[in-house]
Structure 1
Amino acid sequence: MSSCQFIHLEVYARVAGSTKKGGHNLDSIVAEAERHPSACLHVTKPRPPSLLYGFMPSKAAEKASAWAEHAFDSRGRRLRRDGLCLLAGVISLEQQRIEDWPAFRQATLKWLIDFFGDRLVSVIEHTDEENPHIHFYCVAHARERFECLHPGRKAAQEVRNAGQLKGRGNSSALP
């Protein structure tokens, strides 16, 4: 089985925070993922995505927004509009290995389901760009903290909860 070209995780809010690079939010990423007109100018001939699992990204954004309406921050306050509520990821394979794509796509989908469980709510496929890729979206369960979704944020939270220094969550940190 071949390995991926890259896996990238990103987090989004209902409204982009003032310091958020690029200013993306739930609406803007859904528009690009679902290939809404003028939302994916980087794609020469946009085609609608193929749904591989769950429901379309717009429904994932609705679910994330609903979760955020009832979520609280670390201090017990209602989550701000720019509070994180959706984990999104992209997994790509190089065009030179296109013959591996069907098997790679299936193995990747299985891994996503195994890794994220029922927090995984949407997986779509794009084949209208140079490299085939999958977008996936995850939403926390009711009464869960957002940190449960992102492996890096989850590790950092566990370190904080244990009262350790921030760097202790890194494998290359102090022994």
Structure 2
Amino acid sequence: MSGFQFAHLEVYGRKPDAKGRSVNWVLAEATREPDACPHVATPTPPELVHGIALSEVRRLHDEACSTAKVTLSNGRLRAISKDQKTLLTVVTSHPALTESVRSDPALAAEVRAWEKRSVTWLREQYGERLLSVVRHVDESYAHLHAYVLPSDLKAAGLHPGTAAKRAVTSAGPAEGEDPKALNRRGDAAYRQAMREWQDSYWVKVGLPSGLARLGPGRRRLTREQWQAERMAARSTKMALDQAVLIDRKSREQAAKVKAAITDAQARTESAKALHDAAVDKEREASTALDRAGHQEMAAKALQAAAEVREQKASATLARAGGEAERIIAKAAQQASRISSWGSRLRSFLDGLRKSSIAAAARLEAAREVARERARADDAARRALEEAARRREAERRAQAATESVLTTARERDQARQELAALRPAPPALDMGRRFGR
């Protein structure tokens, strides 16, 4: 869709002007109140594009006006004048026919993009003072109405032309300048300010939407010149759209690469954590293995000591048995030499007493042997347990080593994926991207 843009602004007060226009009149026309829009064959309610409903705009405006005061020269306060311009409106129009927008999805998408650009521009111009933007779908061409409520209720100050002319006239005439010349200079400032306002709208909204700055009749262009300008505007729009598309794709690709890098970094960190954990496990396993080796050596030493004690006990038992036999033999020899029965009896009793001593010695030696054998058995059992723990430590060390190798492989794979995801630098410059 090619054509030229249209943007217009007005300021209104509570009191109707010479043409009967006021804040109530413009809001009634916008909301399609009965008898307020005779130029529309079949009125339909406006559709909200941005901000609040027009009924809220009216309420906020009336409340602000009812409480606003001005300070007089004598210091007294009074209500603001009903002649004061308190509301600013902006109308922007697109050359697309409303019926065509309804029937052509592609054109509808183009007009919606134009609306978004218009709202963005309006917000840049007026900020929070922009209360509402609505569209009318009951007129011939697609267009928007915007409503701006100044915080000081001085809408004329937001009109760029009026503000520029006031700045010139309030400064007074230059040397040798009469009032008419001053007024003409003010009018020139007015027109220049309005051209700049229109240029701003065209640069931010009209040009990206493929619209010309002005129509052919205003500049007395031939049909060929007008078609050429329309094609230039359309080509510019296509170039800008292509640039936006390329930028969006670049951003999407950058987002994908960033996500992939983030994922790879997360995987690398995870792999590093696994590697560190595996190293800790391997260190623990090595420590356990060393401890098991020391315990096995201690168990072997205990077993050797138990064997030595058992050998000593056996030797002690053998000596005790030999000593007992010698005592008994000696007692028998002495008993045979005694002639009297009393002497023989005493000798026999002494032999029995010595025999009981020998038996007690043998019993104690047997007990010592049993204790040494028990200690030897306990040492052997502990040696077997330490051997089992050593085998378990070796198994855990082997598992930790395998985990470290697996983690290293995952880390290397993550690095390869990260390197593959890094985009190559673009080869085209901006001029070639815009078709120049």
Deviation at 1:167, TM superposition (A): 4.2
Match of 2:137 among 124, 127, 130: 127
Residue 157 of structure 1 corresponds to 166
Q: Deviations over 1:61-106 (max 9, x none)?
A: 3333333341549989743222211111211111258523111111
Q: Greater Rg, structure 1 or structure 2?
A: 2
Deviation at 1:7, TM superposition (A): 1.1
Q: Deviations over 1:12-31 (max 9, x none)?
A: 111203xx22x021222111
Residue 139 of structure 1 corresponds to 149
Letter in 2 for 1:105: E
Give me the whole-angstrom Cα distance separating, in 2, the residues matched to 1:74 and 1:122.
33
Give me the whole-angstrom Cα distance separating, in 2, the residues matched to 1:110 and 1:6.
16
Letter in 1 for 2:151: H
Residue 40 of structure 2 corresponds to residue 30 of structure 1: no
Residue 40 of structure 1 corresponds to 37
Which structure exhibits the higher relative contact order, with contacts defined as CA atoms closer than 8 Å and separated by 6 or more residues?
A: 1
Q: Deviations over 1:91-125 (max 9, x none)?
A: 11112585231111110010001111111111101
Residue 30 of structure 2 corresponds to residue 55 of structure 1: no
More helix by share: 2
Secondary structure at the counterpart of residue 132 of structure 1: strand
Residue 83 of structure 1 corresponds to 84
Secondary structure at the counterpart of residue 32 of structure 1: helix
Q: Could you say if the C-alpha distance between residues 108 and 73 of structure 1 is closer, same or farther in structure 2, counting changes exceeding 3 Å? A: farther
Which segments of 5 or more consecutive residues in structure 1 lack a partner in the other structure?
none
Root mean square deviation, CA, Å: 3.0
Q: How many residues align?
A: 169
Deviation at 1:138, TM superposition (A): 0.7
Deviation at 1:2, TM superposition (A): 6.5
Give me the whole-angstrom Cα distance separating, in 2, the residues matched to 1:145 and 1:63.
15
Give me the whole-angstrom Cα distance separating, in 1, the residues matched to 2:139 and 2:70.
38
Letter in 1 for 2:57: A
Which segments of 5 or more consecutive residues in structure 2 lack a partner in the other structure?
102-106, 174-181, 193-436
Residue 16 of structure 2 corresponds to residue 16 of structure 1: yes
Q: Which moved more, 1:66-75 or 1:4-13?
A: 66-75
Give me the whole-angstrom Cα distance separating, in 1, the residues matched to 2:133 and 2:72.
29
Contact 2:85 2:156 in 1 (8 A): no
Secondary structure at the counterpart of residue 94 of structure 1: strand
Q: Could you say if the C-alpha distance between residues 147 and 27 of structure 1 is closer, same or farther in structure 2, counting changes exceeding 3 Å? A: closer
User: Normalising by the residue count of structure 2, what TM-score does the alignment of the two structures yield?
Assistant: 0.35
Letter in 2 for 1:110: T
Q: Could you say if the C-alpha distance between residues 159 and 31 of structure 1 is closer, same or farther in structure 2, counting changes exceeding 3 Å? A: same
Contact 1:14 1:27 in 2 (8 A): yes
Give me the whole-angstrom Cα distance separating, in 1, the residues matched to 2:168 and 2:161.
11
Letter in 1 for 2:58: A
Deviation at 1:58, TM superposition (A): 3.0
Q: Could you say if the C-alpha distance between residues 112 and 50 of structure 1 is closer, same or farther in structure 2, counting changes exceeding 3 Å? A: same
Residue 94 of structure 1 corresponds to 95
More strand by share: 1
Q: Could you say if the C-alpha distance between residues 73 and 102 of structure 1 is closer, same or farther in structure 2, counting changes exceeding 3 Å? A: farther
Q: Could you say if the C-alpha distance between residues 157 and 68 of structure 1 is closer, same or farther in structure 2, counting changes exceeding 3 Å? A: farther
Q: Give percent identity, aligned residues only.
A: 34
Residue 122 of structure 2 corresponds to 112
